[in-house]
């Protein structure tokens, strides 16, 4: 199920919303602790045209699609580390309570699919540079699991086929009911 929510509008942080409207390219990871909010709430304070929230139950489906998109950048960003992997996101399958990545890729591991509370499609500028487009996976507490950024061509433009595929993940509610 695709849902779009706006928890920021009800949390009374108009000043944060205005700051993000003026500067949507700021580093969002510095905000949750300072604002006493989850990363999901911070994303929802961005202008609504820059994000869509998908249900976390689509985790396996979406990662299955992402595996066919080609070169991407996967990022794990914690308080202490920003770790990036550039390459194709590997295929995976569910087993023993995890979504297990395989396929001979240098990126491998085991992801707790059942802990995904929401997946954000975010399109925004970043630090005054060109546009970015990403999938940001949040756990059930609204905290980051990992992010996947779309790849770029030799001219630093987002791959058009990936952007089209990303946007296709947001399907109308009527399509989900069918």
Order of strands, sheet of 116-125, starting from the edge strand that comes earlier in the sequence: 2-3, 51-55, 116-125, 131-139, 144-150, 71-77, 82-88
Is residue 177 in a domain?
no
Q: Which of 6-10, 21-25, 38-42, 68-72 has the lowest mean pLDDT?
A: 6-10
Tell me which residue range forms the domain holding 81: 2-171
Question: What is the tens place of the pLDDT at every residue in 81-113?
Answer: 999 999 999 999 999 989 999 977 899 999 999
- Residue 147 CB partners (closer than 8 Å, separation 6+): 74, 75, 76, 77, 134, 135, 136, 137
Q: State yes or no: pLDDT of 3 exceeds 50.
A: no
**pTM across the whole model:** 0.86
Mean pLDDT, to the nearest integer, of 116-142? Answer: 91
**In CATH, what number is assigned to the domain containing residue 150?**
3.40.1570.10
Is residue 39 in a domain?
yes
Instruction: Kindly indicate the confidence band of residue 128, based on its pLDDT and cuts at 50, 70 and 90.
Output: low
Is residue 24 in a domain?
yes
Is residue 178 in a domain?
no
Mean pLDDT score of the chain: 87
Residue-level pLDDT at 48 = 94
Is residue 176 in a domain?
no
- The Cα–Cα gap between 127 and 145 comes to 22
Is residue 129 in a domain?
yes
- Number of structural domains (the chain) is 1
Question: What is the tens place of the pLDDT at every residue in 34-73?
Answer: 888 999 999 999 999 999 999 999 999 999 999 999 999 9
């Amino acid at each position: 199920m695709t849902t779009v929510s706006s928890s920021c509008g009800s949390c009374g942080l108009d000043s944060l919303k205005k700051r993000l409207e003026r500067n949507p390219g700021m580093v969002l990871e510095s905000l949750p602790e300072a604002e006493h909010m989850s990363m999901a709430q911070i994303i929802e304070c961005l202008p609504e045209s820059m994000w869509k929230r998908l249900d976390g139950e689509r985790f396996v489906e979406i990662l299955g699609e992402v595996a066919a998109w080609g070169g991407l950048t996967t990022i794990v960003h914690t308080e202490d580390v920003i770790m990036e992997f550039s390459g194709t996101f590997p295929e995976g399958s569910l087993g023993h309570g995890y979504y297990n990545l395989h396929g001979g890729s240098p990126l491998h591991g085991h992801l707790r699919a059942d802990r995904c509370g929401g997946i954000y499609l975010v399109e925004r500028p970043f630090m005054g540079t060109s546009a970015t487009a990403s999938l940001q996976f949040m756990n059930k507490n609204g905290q980051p699991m990992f992010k996947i950024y779309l790849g770029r061509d030799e001219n630093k433009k987002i791959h058009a086929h990936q952007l089209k595929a990303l946007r296709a993940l947001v399907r109308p509610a009527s399509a989900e009911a069918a």
